[in-house]
Amino acid sequence: MKLFYSDASPYARCVRVVIRHLKIDGIDEIKTNPLANGEDLLEANPLGKIPCLQLNDGSSLYDSEVILRYLDTELGGGRLFGIRESNWVSESHFSLIKGMLDSAVALRQEQMREEEGKRSSFWTARFEQALLRGLQRIEQGGLMTTPQLSIHQICLACLLEYLDFRHADLKWRKVAPAVASWLADFKDFPALKMTQPD
Protein backbone atom coordinates (compact mmCIF):
# COMPACT_ATOMS: atom_id res chain seq x y z
CA MET A 1 0.00 0.00 0.00
CA LYS A 2 1.04 3.60 -0.55
CA LEU A 3 0.09 6.64 1.49
CA PHE A 4 0.45 9.96 -0.29
CA TYR A 5 0.89 12.64 2.35
CA SER A 6 2.26 16.09 3.08
CA ASP A 7 4.30 16.71 6.20
CA ALA A 8 2.31 19.79 7.17
CA SER A 9 -1.19 18.35 6.56
CA PRO A 10 -3.02 17.70 9.84
CA TYR A 11 -5.34 15.27 8.00
CA ALA A 12 -2.41 13.19 6.76
CA ARG A 13 -0.81 13.37 10.18
CA CYS A 14 -3.90 11.81 11.79
CA VAL A 15 -3.52 8.89 9.38
CA ARG A 16 0.23 8.58 10.01
CA VAL A 17 -0.29 8.60 13.79
CA VAL A 18 -2.89 5.83 13.51
CA ILE A 19 -0.59 3.73 11.30
CA ARG A 20 2.12 3.91 13.93
CA HIS A 21 -0.17 3.43 16.90
CA LEU A 22 -1.80 0.35 15.37
CA LYS A 23 1.65 -0.89 14.23
CA ILE A 24 0.48 -1.40 10.66
CA ASP A 25 3.23 -2.61 8.34
CA GLY A 26 3.36 -2.59 4.57
CA ILE A 27 2.42 1.04 3.90
CA ASP A 28 4.98 3.09 1.97
CA GLU A 29 4.62 6.75 2.93
CA ILE A 30 5.24 9.00 -0.06
CA LYS A 31 5.81 12.65 0.76
CA THR A 32 3.84 14.61 -1.83
CA ASN A 33 3.16 18.22 -2.73
CA PRO A 34 -0.50 18.09 -3.79
CA LEU A 35 -0.18 21.42 -5.62
CA ALA A 36 2.46 19.94 -7.95
CA ASN A 37 -0.20 17.73 -9.60
CA GLY A 38 2.15 14.74 -9.67
CA GLU A 39 1.06 11.94 -11.98
CA ASP A 40 1.12 9.26 -9.26
CA LEU A 41 -1.12 11.25 -6.93
CA LEU A 42 -3.57 12.24 -9.68
CA GLU A 43 -3.78 8.63 -10.83
CA ALA A 44 -4.56 7.56 -7.26
CA ASN A 45 -6.89 10.47 -6.46
CA PRO A 46 -8.36 12.54 -9.30
CA LEU A 47 -9.09 15.32 -6.80
CA GLY A 48 -5.35 15.72 -6.26
CA LYS A 49 -5.81 15.82 -2.49
CA ILE A 50 -3.97 14.20 0.35
CA PRO A 51 -3.98 11.99 2.25
CA CYS A 52 -4.68 9.24 -0.24
CA LEU A 53 -4.17 5.56 0.52
CA GLN A 54 -3.57 3.41 -2.55
CA LEU A 55 -4.37 -0.21 -1.77
CA ASN A 56 -2.45 -3.20 -3.09
CA ASP A 57 -5.12 -3.91 -5.72
CA GLY A 58 -4.59 -0.42 -7.18
CA SER A 59 -7.79 1.10 -5.80
CA SER A 60 -7.55 4.18 -3.61
CA LEU A 61 -9.17 5.51 -0.45
CA TYR A 62 -9.72 9.18 0.36
CA ASP A 63 -10.49 11.40 2.35
CA SER A 64 -8.83 11.09 5.76
CA GLU A 65 -11.97 9.88 7.54
CA VAL A 66 -12.43 7.01 5.08
CA ILE A 67 -8.77 6.05 5.44
CA LEU A 68 -8.92 6.21 9.25
CA ARG A 69 -12.05 4.06 9.36
CA TYR A 70 -10.51 1.56 6.95
CA LEU A 71 -7.29 1.26 8.97
CA ASP A 72 -9.16 0.88 12.24
CA THR A 73 -11.79 -1.56 10.97
CA GLU A 74 -9.71 -3.71 8.63
CA LEU A 75 -6.31 -3.63 10.32
CA GLY A 76 -6.87 -2.40 13.88
CA GLY A 77 -9.80 -4.41 15.18
CA GLY A 78 -12.05 -1.39 15.63
CA ARG A 79 -10.14 -0.19 18.68
CA LEU A 80 -10.24 3.53 17.86
CA PHE A 81 -13.69 4.19 16.41
CA GLY A 82 -15.53 1.49 18.31
CA ILE A 83 -18.91 0.30 17.10
CA ARG A 84 -20.16 3.04 14.80
CA GLU A 85 -23.86 2.24 14.76
CA SER A 86 -24.39 2.51 18.50
CA ASN A 87 -22.67 5.76 19.45
CA TRP A 88 -24.02 8.73 17.51
CA VAL A 89 -22.83 11.24 20.11
CA SER A 90 -19.30 10.00 19.55
CA GLU A 91 -19.85 10.36 15.79
CA SER A 92 -20.88 13.99 16.32
CA HIS A 93 -17.78 14.65 18.40
CA PHE A 94 -15.62 13.26 15.60
CA SER A 95 -17.41 15.48 13.08
CA LEU A 96 -16.76 18.49 15.32
CA ILE A 97 -13.02 17.82 15.38
CA LYS A 98 -12.93 17.12 11.65
CA GLY A 99 -14.80 20.38 11.00
CA MET A 100 -12.26 22.20 13.14
CA LEU A 101 -9.45 20.69 11.08
CA ASP A 102 -11.24 22.00 7.98
CA SER A 103 -11.47 25.48 9.53
CA ALA A 104 -7.78 25.46 10.53
CA VAL A 105 -6.67 24.52 7.01
CA ALA A 106 -9.05 27.05 5.42
CA LEU A 107 -7.69 29.74 7.75
CA ARG A 108 -4.17 28.89 6.61
CA GLN A 109 -5.25 29.12 2.95
CA GLU A 110 -6.83 32.50 3.63
CA GLN A 111 -3.62 33.72 5.26
CA MET A 112 -1.64 32.66 2.19
CA ARG A 113 -3.54 35.10 0.00
CA GLU A 114 -0.73 37.64 0.07
CA GLU A 115 -1.81 40.12 -2.58
CA GLU A 116 -3.27 43.32 -1.19
CA GLY A 117 -7.01 43.10 -0.85
CA LYS A 118 -7.20 39.34 -1.49
CA ARG A 119 -7.36 38.27 2.13
CA SER A 120 -10.86 38.37 3.58
CA SER A 121 -11.20 39.65 7.14
CA PHE A 122 -14.72 38.15 7.19
CA TRP A 123 -13.53 34.60 6.44
CA THR A 124 -10.46 34.92 8.65
CA ALA A 125 -12.65 35.90 11.61
CA ARG A 126 -15.23 33.21 10.78
CA PHE A 127 -12.63 30.42 10.74
CA GLU A 128 -10.94 31.70 13.92
CA GLN A 129 -14.25 31.93 15.77
CA ALA A 130 -15.29 28.44 14.62
CA LEU A 131 -12.03 27.08 16.02
CA LEU A 132 -12.38 28.87 19.34
CA ARG A 133 -16.04 27.90 19.75
CA GLY A 134 -15.21 24.29 18.94
CA LEU A 135 -12.41 24.23 21.50
CA GLN A 136 -14.74 25.70 24.12
CA ARG A 137 -17.22 22.89 23.40
CA ILE A 138 -14.49 20.28 23.74
CA GLU A 139 -13.29 21.94 26.95
CA GLN A 140 -16.81 21.88 28.43
CA GLY A 141 -17.51 18.30 27.37
CA GLY A 142 -14.21 16.84 28.53
CA LEU A 143 -13.90 15.01 25.23
CA MET A 144 -10.15 14.63 25.57
CA THR A 145 -10.35 12.78 28.90
CA THR A 146 -11.89 9.49 27.79
CA PRO A 147 -10.10 6.63 29.59
CA GLN A 148 -9.36 4.63 26.43
CA LEU A 149 -7.40 6.11 23.53
CA SER A 150 -9.79 7.11 20.76
CA ILE A 151 -9.61 8.50 17.25
CA HIS A 152 -11.02 11.70 18.72
CA GLN A 153 -7.95 12.19 20.90
CA ILE A 154 -5.53 11.47 18.05
CA CYS A 155 -7.24 13.93 15.70
CA LEU A 156 -7.60 16.53 18.46
CA ALA A 157 -3.87 16.38 19.20
CA CYS A 158 -3.07 16.74 15.49
CA LEU A 159 -5.43 19.72 15.28
CA LEU A 160 -3.93 21.46 18.32
CA GLU A 161 -0.36 20.98 17.16
CA TYR A 162 -1.39 22.25 13.70
CA LEU A 163 -2.78 25.38 15.38
CA ASP A 164 0.56 25.85 17.12
CA PHE A 165 2.44 25.16 13.87
CA ARG A 166 0.43 27.39 11.51
CA HIS A 167 -1.61 29.71 13.76
CA ALA A 168 0.64 30.55 16.68
CA ASP A 169 -1.13 33.90 17.12
CA LEU A 170 -4.48 32.21 17.82
CA LYS A 171 -4.64 32.21 21.61
CA TRP A 172 -6.59 28.96 21.86
CA ARG A 173 -5.14 28.01 25.26
CA LYS A 174 -6.97 30.93 26.87
CA VAL A 175 -10.39 29.51 25.91
CA ALA A 176 -9.44 25.88 26.53
CA PRO A 177 -6.91 25.60 29.39
CA ALA A 178 -7.91 22.02 30.28
CA VAL A 179 -7.43 21.01 26.65
CA ALA A 180 -4.01 22.71 26.70
CA SER A 181 -3.09 20.79 29.84
CA TRP A 182 -4.23 17.54 28.25
CA LEU A 183 -2.10 18.24 25.15
CA ALA A 184 0.96 18.88 27.32
CA ASP A 185 0.62 15.32 28.62
CA PHE A 186 -0.40 13.77 25.29
CA LYS A 187 2.56 15.31 23.38
CA ASP A 188 4.67 12.34 24.50
CA PHE A 189 2.43 9.87 22.66
CA PRO A 190 5.07 8.07 20.55
CA ALA A 191 3.22 8.08 17.21
CA LEU A 192 2.55 11.81 17.58
CA LYS A 193 6.23 12.55 18.17
CA MET A 194 7.23 10.39 15.20
CA THR A 195 5.07 12.44 12.79
CA GLN A 196 6.05 15.96 13.89
CA PRO A 197 6.03 18.30 10.84
CA ASP A 198 9.35 19.81 9.78
* 84-194: CATH architecture: Up-down Bundle (1.20)
The whole-number average pLDDT for the span 168-176 is 96
pLDDT band of residue 4 (cuts 50, 70, 90) is very high
pLDDT band of residue 194 (cuts 50, 70, 90) is very high
Supply the pLDDT for residue 154.
95
| CATH 3.40.30.10 domain range(s) in the chain | 2-75
Q: Is the pLDDT of residue 68 over 80?
A: yes
Supply the pLDDT for residue 86.
54
Average pLDDT for the chain: 91
* 2-75: CATH architecture: 3-Layer(aba) Sandwich (3.40)
Pick the closest to residue 148 from 72, 81, 75, 85 (CA basis): 81
The pLDDT tens digits of the residues spanning 16-44 come to 999 999 999 999 999 999 989 899 999 99
Supply the pLDDT for residue 148.
86
| CATH 1.20.1050.10 domain range(s) in the chain | 84-194
